[in-house]
Each structure stands twice: as structure tokens, then as C-alpha cells.
Chains A and B, each alone.
Chain A
Amino acid sequence: MKLKPNIATSEAGFIFNPATGDSFAANPLAADILARAKTGLDAAAIKADILARYDVAPGQLEKDWDDLLAQLRDFNLLDQ
């Protein structure tokens, strides 16, 4: 997962795309994931951290991870 470099994120979950003017609200976990992704952490490391900290089964996380990627792609926030 690699966000476009110009995408602005905040700790509160506000996401802004200056290229399009679109803004988004991320829930706490999505905001956390995006913040980590911006630091360059890879997907495996982020997922391992989530599994260690949250009450979620690996299979559920994988499904939700794919769904988050689909949303980011749909909102044109990923660096293709």
C-alpha cells in the first residue's frame, strides 16, 4: 500500500487530496493504518501490529484490508 505523496492525513482521521480537493474521514483504525503507511511501513508489518493490538482474527483482517485497499483505489488515493 503506497499513498500518493501529496495526500495529507491528520491524526484525527481527516484526509485531504490537494490535487482534487476531495476530503475524507477515516475511522480510527483506518487513520492509524494510513499514518503508518505514510512512514513507509510495509503492509505485513502494519497487519502484524494490528493483530497484536486488536481483537481480530487474521482472516477477518485480511478481508478488511482488501476492502480498505479497494476504497483507497476507488477514492484515487493510492500511488498506482
Chain B
Amino acid sequence: MKLPYERPTLRKLTAGALHKFGPRPGAAPTTALDGVPVAELVARFGSPLFVLSERQLRRSYQAAVRAFGTRYPAVQLAWSYKTNYLNAVCRTFHQEGAWAEVVSGMELEKALLNGVPGPHILFNGPGKRRADLERACVVDAVIHLDNADELHLLLDVAAGRAARPRVALRVNLDAGTYPQWDRFGFNLENGEAWQALGRVVASGRLALVGLHCHIGTYVLQPKAYGTAATKLAALALRCQRELHTTIQYLDLGGGFPSTNTLKGAYLPAADTVPALDEYAEAITGALLGAGFPSDELPLLVLEAGRALVDDAGSLIGSVLANKRLADGRRATILDFGVNLLFTSFWYDHHISPTREFSSQTEPTVLYGPLCMNIDQLRESIALPLLAPGDTVVVHKVGAYNMSQWQQFINLRPNVVLIDEAGAVHLIRAAETLEYLQQLERVPEHLL
């Protein structure tokens, strides 16, 4: 029997600056996902392949409910559709009890088709069209008002309707983070939000039921959420006091980080990202101390997306080729690029081989297959000596990649869900050229 082969390679030894950290561990192989061998998944569904773990989806959801629900008596999660609106994912969260948070007419229809009752749909987003507002009114979704033009458009839509559309006001505020997000909603500090609330209530055509804010994305300071909750609660109490309107829910938005490491971060996110419990403690502590009577606490709504789904997604890909760049660096070309792994623009994803290698690694530039210079997945990553045909697993890719992916140069691949019993379900089939071209029309003179 012949010896296993690994290509001959050299690595220049550099001392580097002194530091307190030990050597990085070698890349441990990921041979299976939720008990299903990677090789089997690739043989059945091809490469690249997105794999979602139903077990992890449910586990993350339940962990979030536990973090907030053990600290506050009335908590409701609303699944952020834009983060991953594959129906199987949405329905898993809805089965767990999630409402839907949508940001477009298309997402609203998706939520309805997924069986979410209209009153359990929160309609966010800065770009609602008249038809979207009319549809939201018909199904009794809660409309989160983003700007004055939208408010007046809705007042127009609401005129003559038997039932008053239910609305919440989107509020942007200074939570102590920089840069302050002020593009969504009405500003609190300059009085714009209060003015809008007054107009909503005075109109008599809208039912004000909630207040909403979304302070940012991948926010690493739990304290900022505490500040936002304090300010939103004070605004709700002022509504009660001065507008004689009871705010039924406070929606603190999403923006909770996952444990993916941001590019440029000095330490891995697993070591630096606060636990969801810390965010829960900051938010619920602020609400409980805000001055609401104990039997009149508003419902706490959260629109977590990334924190619920990121860990549940993996992307399997294959090595197409290796090459050496002009400066001597190793480069590896994979069969997926930024077209599928959109989040590689801001994360240094953890990438594992899928079989055992020696401990030898080589600093490698990872490229995708696109004929575009921007298609670089990692500027430098220590990987074992991968050969063409070897597969890799990119971890924690459940958020945004399956909604922001692009049909560009290559078609989008299969997506499978591994259920809690280990059965593999195809939940989105690989695209075909026929699918791609079905909406195109060629003028007669070009036929």
C-alpha cells in the first residue's frame, strides 16, 4: 500500500513580534455536518452546497427566548425575514413561536404564505409603497412608520377604512454608539419622533400600538441596548401621560452579533462577542426599572436575525485549483466566491478542511471562481495543503448569504436542511439556465 501524498512545500520561518499567545491550533477537519458525512452530502447534492441545521436553528431560537424570557415576563421574537427568507427556515422559527418582521411587500407576502397571521407581522423598512401599505392594512399587519411622507401616505390610505391600521413609530436615538444610526425612523432627541407621535394620535385614523428602534448591526456593546430601552420606555410613558395612549409593545430591533469574526478584529469573535444574556440583561433591566406599573409592562419585541440563524448555516465548497502568485504567495481557487458568500466582505469566516491532513499549513489567499478581481474570500488563511477536488466547510454562514447571494457568472446551488432526525431535505434546488432565462424576452429582430 502506498503512502498518503501531500504536496511538497516550504514555509519561511519568521519570529514575529513577541506576544502572550500560543500557537494557533491546526485546522481540525469537519467530516460531517449534524452527523451526515460531508462526502455524502456532496455526492448527493453537488458542490458548492449550503447546509442548514434545523437542530441549531431551534437551539439558537430557544436560547434567545430563554435569555430574555427568564428576565422579563412578556417577550416576543419576530423573525427577521431579510436575514434568510428560505421558507423552511422561516417556518422552523414560526413553529417555535416567532412572529415575522418584514421590510418589503415581497417579504410581507412570503410571511403570509408561510402561515403567519397578519397581526403577527411587523412591517419595517424605509421604502414602503402605497400598494404595500394597502396590503398591510387589509391583512392587519403592524406598520412601522419610517418617515413623515410614509405617515401621510398611510393617513391617506387609512381614510375611509372601517378599522384603523395599527402602527408603531420607528425611532432613532443616541444610544452611545458611533456612528449613530439615524436613517431609519424619526429622531428622538430633536423632537421629531414626539411630533410624529402627536400627529398619529391626533389623526384619529391610526392605532398607535408600539415603538421601535434599531440601533445598528453587530453591536458589541450591550449597554447601548440598555440606553435605547431606557429612552424608548420613557417615550412610551410620555405617550401614556400626555397622549393618553398605551404603548402595547416596545421593539428593540435586532443587531445582535453572532460569533463570526469581523475582518480586522484582533481576537476571534468567540472570545470577544458578549453573550446574548448580557444584551438581555441590559434591555430587560432598563425596562423593569423604567417606571411601568408591574402589571402594565409593555411586550418586549426583538427582531433578531443573525443571532438566530448564522450558526445554523454551513457552506461546503471544493478546491478547483491551486496557484502561486507573483510574490510567492499560495492561492487557492474555490468553486464558490463572493457571489455566494456575501458575508466574506466583512467576516473572516472559519473554514475547515473535511479530511485529515498533516499539521503542515501554508498561508493561502482564497479566491472564488468569478472572473472579477473583487472575488477574494480571504486575504490570508492558514490552511492545510489542499489539492484540487478537496472539499472545505465554511462555518456560520446562515445569515444574509442565502438572501443577499447573487446570480452572477455562476448559478446558485442547492440548499439542504438536515432535520433533527438527521434526514436531509432539499429546500432550494440549484438554479438552471432555463430558470435564469425564463423572464427574459428577446426582441423579434434579434431572433
Contact = CB atoms under 8 A, between A and B. Distances in A.
Contacts of B10: 15, 24-27, 30, 68, 71-72, 75
* Overall SS of chain B's interface: loop
Interface residues of A, number: 26
B19 interface: no
A54 B13 contact: no
Given A60-B387, A70-B324, A71-B324, A26 B4 contact: no
* Overall SS of chain A's interface: helix
B8 interface: yes
Given A24-B13, A75-B12, A53 B7 contact: no
A22 to B, nearest CB: 7
A15 to B, nearest CB: 7
A44 to B, nearest CB: 16
A23 interface: yes
A41 interface: no
B435 interface: no
A28 interface: yes
Contacts, number: 72
29 contacts: A15-B10, A24-B10, A25-B11, A26-B10, A26-B11, A27-B10, A27-B385, A28-B358, A29-B6, A29-B7, A29-B8, A30-B8, A30-B10, A53-B2, A53-B3, A54-B2, A54-B3, A60-B7, A67-B322, A67-B324, A70-B324, A71-B9, A71-B10, A71-B324, A74-B324, A74-B328, A75-B10, A75-B12, A75-B328
Interface of A: 15, 22-30, 32-33, 53-56, 60, 64-65, 67-68, 70-72, 74-75
Interface of B: 2-13, 322, 324, 328, 358, 360, 385, 387
Interface pairs A-B: 5 shortest CB-CB: A30-B8, A56-B5, A74-B328, A64-B7, A27-B360
